[in-house]
């Protein structure tokens, strides 16, 4: 599932861009070290293969719906984590540019959710551990299923966290998690089955292809590095989530925060990620937002859906006259834009030279 630009804040988009850019540069460097030149066109063509394979569907027995291949796990199994990550990044970039899947700012989030988790976590920690060096039908099935499901769950979890940190959507954490994880469990099972079926087909037809993925000692010696990086990032995300949680649901986590730090919850939330985000938002905004809700009011809005009247008092909103003038002004602006557009088109129309 692709994150969209519309749902993320610049702070979240920028952070994920930075993380993804770091991973891309790191993967590019790793790949250069043991560059097997043969891999360069192979990677490109396999990226195109992922697109092509998504054109082919199959019916899922019993449900009457149909599924297709996602690709992250197959790429990791065929190419190894670094190359697979780069291929996934390029596939997602093309999807963002041509199909408007996601967006350019959300590209960092999408590459992270759909590339990092399968390539750097699920493949080395789950698939490789299960399948090992001696693949068998059963091991491939188990490995592909487990890794595909977990990679997708983590990806969905990433989507939830990124959405929450951005604060554009109103969905509360638990509802969103309960919405996303079961859907992605189903998708993950399908993805696992497909991955297992294709990998075992290739294994039977040309077993040597499956050993293309780097099993060289050099690659193995470094393989704990992305793991550490991943754990650090995960810890950062989890920590951020915890402090966010603490700041929006003061009654829920208060005791644990108090117990750990001995401080009041409010202070903790100000010093934590929330404070940092607010600071970044302040830095990013060129002028203070007159209609941006303060965090305290947001808390109120979240904890009380039905206390609408109380909230109306606490946040008076725009007066009737002001909002009418806003609508009038918006209409005038759009009209102006339309006129400018028509004028430009008339002025620049080609074939009239």
Q: Binders of other proteins among 295-324, rule CB under 8 A?
A: 301-302, 305-306, 308, 311-312, 315, 317-324
* Tokens, residue 4: 């969209």
10 contributes a contact to other proteins by CB under 8 A: yes
Give the nearer residue to other proteins in terms of CB position, either 136 or 333: 333
Question: What does each C-alpha distance from 233 to 20, 40, 223 come to in angstroms?
Answer: 11, 29, 16
Among 15, 24, 147, 269, binds other proteins (CB under 8 A): 24
91 within 8 A of 46, measured Cβ to Cβ: no
Among 34, 125, 142, 172, binds other proteins (CB under 8 A): 172
78 within 8 A of 152, measured Cβ to Cβ: no
Give the nearer residue to other proteins in terms of CB position, either 239 or 341: 341
* Tokens, residue 152: 């997708």
178 contributes a contact to other proteins by CB under 8 A: no
177 contributes a contact to other proteins by CB under 8 A: no
Among 129, 174, 207, 209, binds other proteins (CB under 8 A): 209
247 contributes a contact to other proteins by CB under 8 A: no
Sites for other proteins among residues 211-240 (CB under 8 A): none
Sites for other proteins among residues 109-138 (CB under 8 A): 114
239 within 8 A of 273, measured Cβ to Cβ: yes
Rounded Cα gap, residues 82 and 226, in angstroms: 10
> Smallest distance from the beta carbon of 119 to other proteins, in angstroms?
14
Give the nearer residue to other proteins in terms of CB position, either 193 or 266: 193
70 within 8 A of 57, measured Cβ to Cβ: no
Among 34, 101, 142, 229, binds other proteins (CB under 8 A): 101
The H-or-E segment that residue 66 falls in is strand 66-67
- φ and ψ at residue 103, rounded to 5 degrees: 175, 175
100 contributes a contact to other proteins by CB under 8 A: yes
> Smallest distance from the beta carbon of 312 to other proteins, in angstroms?
6
> Smallest distance from the beta carbon of 326 to other proteins, in angstroms?
5
Task: Using DSSP, state whether 233 is helix, strand or coil.
Answer: helix
337 contributes a contact to other proteins by CB under 8 A: yes
**CB contact set of 121 (below 8 Å; sequence gap of 6+):** 150, 151, 154, 227, 230
CB-facing half-sphere around the CA of 119: CA atoms within 13 A: 30
Among 217, 259, 262, 350, binds other proteins (CB under 8 A): 350
**CB contact set of 22 (below 8 Å; sequence gap of 6+):** none
Question: What does each C-alpha distance from 232 to 18, 237, 322, 331 come to in angstroms?
Answer: 15, 9, 48, 49
* Tokens, residue 140: 């491939």
Among 18, 48, 216, 235, binds other proteins (CB under 8 A): 48
164 contributes a contact to other proteins by CB under 8 A: no
Among 109, 126, 149, 187, binds other proteins (CB under 8 A): 187
Span near other proteins by CB under 8 A; candidates 53-61, 235-243, 261-269, 271-279: 53-61
| Helix ranges, 71-168 (H) | 72-79, 81-98, 107-111, 128-131, 137-166
> Smallest distance from the beta carbon of 138 to other proteins, in angstroms?
16
Span near other proteins by CB under 8 A; candidates 227-235, 243-251, 253-261, 337-345: 337-345
115 within 8 A of 92, measured Cβ to Cβ: yes
325 contributes a contact to other proteins by CB under 8 A: yes
């Amino acid at each position: 599932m692709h994150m969209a630009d519309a749902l993320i804040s610049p702070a979240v988009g920028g952070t994920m861009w930075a993380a993804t850019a770091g991973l891309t540069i790191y993967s590019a460097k790793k790949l250069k070290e043991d560059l097997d030149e043969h891999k360069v066109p192979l990677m490109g063509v396999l990226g195109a293969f992922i697109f092509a394979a998504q054109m082919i569907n199959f019916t899922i027995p019993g449900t009457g719906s149909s599924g297709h291949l996602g690709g992250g796990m197959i790429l990791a199994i065929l190419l190894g984590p670094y190359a697979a990550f780069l291929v996934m990044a390029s596939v997602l970039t093309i999807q963002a540019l041509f199909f408007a899947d996601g967006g350019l700012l959300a590209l960092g989030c999408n590459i992270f959710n759909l590339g990092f988790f399968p390539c750097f976590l699920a493949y080395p920690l789950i698939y490789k551990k299960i399948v090992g060096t001696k693949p068998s039908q059963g091991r491939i099935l188990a490995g592909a299923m487990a890794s595909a499901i977990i990679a997708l769950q983590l990806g969905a979890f990433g989507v939830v966290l990124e959405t929450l940190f951005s604060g554009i959507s109103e969905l509360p954490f638990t509802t969103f998690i309960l919405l996303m994880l079961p859907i992605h469990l189903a998708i993950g099972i399908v993805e696992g089955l497909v991955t297992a079926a294709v990998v075992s087909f290739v294994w039977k037809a040309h077993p040597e292809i499956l050993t293309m993925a780097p099993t060289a000692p050099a690659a193995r010696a470094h393989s704990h590095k992305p793991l550490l990086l991943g754990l650090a990032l995960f810890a950062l995300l989890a920590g951020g989530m915890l402090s966010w949680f603490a700041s929006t649901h003061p009654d829920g986590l208060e005791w644990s925060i108090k117990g750990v730090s001995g401080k009041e919850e409010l202070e903790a939330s100000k010093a934590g990620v929330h404070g940092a985000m607010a600071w970044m938002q302040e830095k990013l905004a060129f002028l203070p937002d007159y209609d941006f809700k303060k965090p305290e009011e947001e808390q109120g809005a979240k904890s009380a859906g039905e206390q609408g009247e109380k909230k109306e008092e606490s946040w008076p909103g725009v007066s009737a006259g002001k909002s009418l003038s806003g609508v009038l002004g918006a209409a005038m602006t759009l009209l102006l834009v339309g006129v400018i557009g028509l004028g430009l088109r008339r002025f620049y129309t080609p074939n009239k030279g």
